[in-house]
């Protein structure tokens, strides 16, 4: 097969790792940025690897683009079996991010665990019912049969990976590991907890001054209720009746099918600026720089990367301690309020506004917290160590 001949040549030219992913940034839609960032960091460390993107949106045939430190192979999922067999004939470490059930079964069938590391980012090993609030009762009833079947398929495949002798399973938080092992119904034989890398060069810290307490940013995806944007916007609406509200400035930035509907509740307020757009990292960093406080409710996060990026930038953050968030911030680095409670978020934000001297304290502690947990040394360097161990 000519496609496999081309893949074999690429693997010989870029031999340090083969990374398989079902999503890769294409410039047109969100997805895969975390993985792309990892590959770029590996490249900076001197590794030359091959990225195999098996998104179903690619053409049936294999296509290829070459970069200084990695090759990007676009491949239809139907080519996965021969591709994995090709990988099994070599010696390169194999890294799989958010693998589909089919890929997980192929990896166990063809690859020794000692060459394999699998990253789970959340949804692949999580019972859909944990995020039941993303759908109405009627919607859940309509999709129950298909989602139950998807659960069964995913969890059966993940159990094989969890138990595969020598295979390394990577989670981004202890919380995610606990949830995943419960839902999958198996304990991982070999685990690493490595948070997502938060780039301190991109999200460069700037100590906030008390005078910046009146500039507030809300920035999240508006794609599902678990992101909690409705809580933030309801909190702003509640504050609009308080004396002094007109002195504040709010920016609401995000994208997704819920944006227009949710923002409607505050769009009439003259000091609220709504920006519907997907923001690239440099744009996010710029928005951070221009604001003092980051309002960031959440109903479920396996890490809370956007919160961490704002903290890295030195923003004072208002959030809640649910899911994995307590692993990455505390009351010394954020204002923590009652979850899923717009009144609590309104009061927490107002507390910062009325006590602006807290901004530099929270700002300094937030920057230090992110640097200690999510710096390159604590994330990317540990992943590179895994790659080199797999290739030893």
The label of the residue with tokens 């070999």 reads 190
- Side-chain-side CA neighbours of 93 within 13 Å: the count stands at 22
CATH at residue 232: 3.40.50.2000
- Domain assignment present for residue 204? The answer is no
Task: Say how many C-beta atoms besides its own lie within 10 A of residue 349's C-beta.
Answer: 25
- Domain assignment present for residue 228? The answer is yes
How many helices (H) and strands (E) the chain has is answered by 13, 14
- Domain assignment present for residue 205? The answer is no
- Whether 184 and 60 map to the same domain: the answer is yes
Burial tier of 384 (Cβ tally within 10 Å: 0-12, 13-18, 19+): buried
- Domain assignment present for residue 115? The answer is yes
Q: Output the pLDDT for position 4.
A: 72
Beta bridge pairs of residue 334:
317
- Whether 187 and 215 map to the same domain: the answer is no
- Whether 47 and 81 map to the same domain: the answer is yes
Helices 80-88/101-110 angle, 10° precision: 30
- Side-chain-side CA neighbours of 76 within 13 Å: the count stands at 7
- Domain assignment present for residue 307? The answer is yes
The label of the residue with tokens 């301690």 reads 321
Q: Output the pLDDT for position 28.
A: 53
- Whether 189 and 245 map to the same domain: the answer is no
- Whether 83 and 153 map to the same domain: the answer is yes
Taking the C-alpha atoms of residue 235 and residue 337, their distance in angstroms, rounded to an integer, is 12
CA 304 to chain centre: 7
- Domain assignment present for residue 234? The answer is yes
Please tell me the total count of domains within the chain. 2
- Whether 180 and 321 map to the same domain: the answer is no
Rounded to a whole number of angstroms, the CA Rg of the chain reads: 22
- Whether 180 and 243 map to the same domain: the answer is no
- Whether 346 and 283 map to the same domain: the answer is yes
Q: Output the pLDDT for position 392.
A: 67
Angle at 128 between CA 124 and CA 131, to 5 degrees: 115
Burial tier of 147 (Cβ tally within 10 Å: 0-12, 13-18, 19+): middle
Complete edge-to-edge strand list for the sheet that includes strand 293-295: 272-276, 249-255, 215-221, 293-295, 316-320, 334-337
Q: Output the pLDDT for position 240.
A: 98
Which residue from 371, 370, 368, 350 is spatially nearest to 360, judged by alpha carbons? 368
CA distances 27 to 23, 198, 240, Å, are 12, 21, 38
- Whether 58 and 159 map to the same domain: the answer is yes
Return per-residue pLDDT of the chain as tens, 392 residues: 466 778 889 999 999 999 999 988 875 555 688 899 899 999 999 999 999 999 876 666 788 899 889 999 988 899 999 999 999 999 999 999 999 999 999 999 999 999 999 999 999 999 999 999 999 999 999 999 999 999 999 999 999 999 999 999 999 999 999 999 999 999 999 999 999 999 999 999 999 999 999 999 999 999 999 999 999 999 999 999 999 999 999 999 999 999 999 999 999 999 999 999 999 999 999 999 999 999 999 999 999 999 999 999 999 999 999 999 999 999 999 999 999 999 999 999 999 999 999 999 999 999 999 999 999 999 999 999 999 999 76
Task: Say how many C-beta atoms besides its own lie within 10 A of residue 316's C-beta.
Answer: 29
Contact status, residue 253 vs residue 277, Cβ threshold 8 Å: yes
Handedness of CA 129, 134, 137, 140 (dihedral sign): negative
- Domain assignment present for residue 202? The answer is no
- Whether 180 and 312 map to the same domain: the answer is no
Q: Which long-range contacts (CB under 8 A, 24 or more apart) does 53-57 make?
A: 53/21, 53/22, 53/23, 53/24, 54/20, 54/21, 54/22, 54/79, 54/80, 54/83, 54/103, 55/22, 55/23, 55/24, 56/22, 57/26
3-state DSSP call for residue 14?
A: coil
Please name the residues in contact with 266: beta carbons below 8 A apart, sequence gap of 6 or more.
233, 236, 237, 240, 250, 252, 272, 274
CA distances 252 to 129, 218, 236, Å, are 29, 5, 11
Q: What residue numbers bound the domain in which 330 lies?
A: 210-374
- Domain assignment present for residue 49? The answer is yes
Taking the C-alpha atoms of residue 154 and residue 148, their distance in angstroms, rounded to an integer, is 10
Q: Output the pLDDT for position 32.
A: 82
- Whether 304 and 217 map to the same domain: the answer is yes
The pTM score is 0.94
- Whether 35 and 134 map to the same domain: the answer is yes
């Amino acid at each position: 097969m000519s496609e496999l001949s081309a893949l074999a040549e690429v693997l010989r030219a870029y031999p340090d790792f083969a990374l398989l992913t079902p999503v890769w940034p294409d410039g047109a839609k969100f997805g895969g940025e975390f993985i792309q960032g990892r590959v770029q960091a590996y490249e900076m460390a001197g590794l030359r690897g091959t990225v195999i993107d098996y998104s179903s949106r690619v053409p049936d045939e294999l296509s290829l683009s070459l970069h200084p430190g990695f090759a990007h192979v676009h491949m239809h999922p139907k080519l996965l079996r021969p591709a994995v067999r090709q990988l099994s004939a070599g010696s390169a470490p194999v890294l799989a991010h958010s693998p589909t059930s089919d890929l997980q079964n192929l990896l166990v069938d063809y690859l020794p665990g000692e060459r394999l590391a699998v990253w789970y980012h959340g949804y692949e090993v999580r019972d859909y019912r944990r995020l039941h609030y993303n759908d109405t009762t009627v919607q859940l009833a309509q999709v129950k049969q298909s989602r139950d079947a998807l659960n069964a398929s995913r969890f059966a495949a993940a159990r094989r990976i969890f138990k595969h002798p020598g295979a390394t399973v990577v989670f981004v938080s202890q919380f995610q590991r606990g949830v995943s092992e419960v839902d999958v119904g198996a304990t991982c034989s070999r685990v690493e907890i490595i948070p997502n890398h938060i780039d301190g060069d991109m999200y460069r810290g700037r100590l906030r001054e008390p005078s910046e307490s009146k500039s507030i940013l809300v920035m999240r995806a508006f794609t599902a209720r678990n992101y909690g944007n409705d809580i933030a916007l309801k909190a702003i609406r509640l504050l609009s009746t308080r004396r002094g509200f007109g002195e504040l400035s709010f920016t609401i930035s995000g994208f997704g099918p819920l944006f227009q509907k949710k923002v409607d509740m505050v769009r009439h307020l003259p000091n609220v600026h709504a920006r519907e757009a997907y923001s690239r990292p440099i744009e996010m960093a710029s928005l951070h720089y221009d604001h003092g406080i980051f309002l960031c409710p959440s109903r479920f996060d396996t890490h809370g990367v956007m919160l961490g990026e704002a903290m890295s930038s030195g923003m004072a953050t208002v959030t809640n301690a649910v899911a994995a968030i307590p692993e990455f911030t505390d009351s010394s680095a954020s204002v923590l309020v009652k979850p899923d409670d717009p009144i609590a978020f309104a009061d927490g934000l107002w507390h910062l506004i009325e006590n602006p001297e807290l901004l530099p304290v929270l700002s300094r502690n937030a920057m230090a917290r992110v640097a200690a947990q999510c710096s390159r040394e604590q994330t990317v360097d540990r992943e590179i160590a895994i790659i080199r161990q797999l290739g030893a």
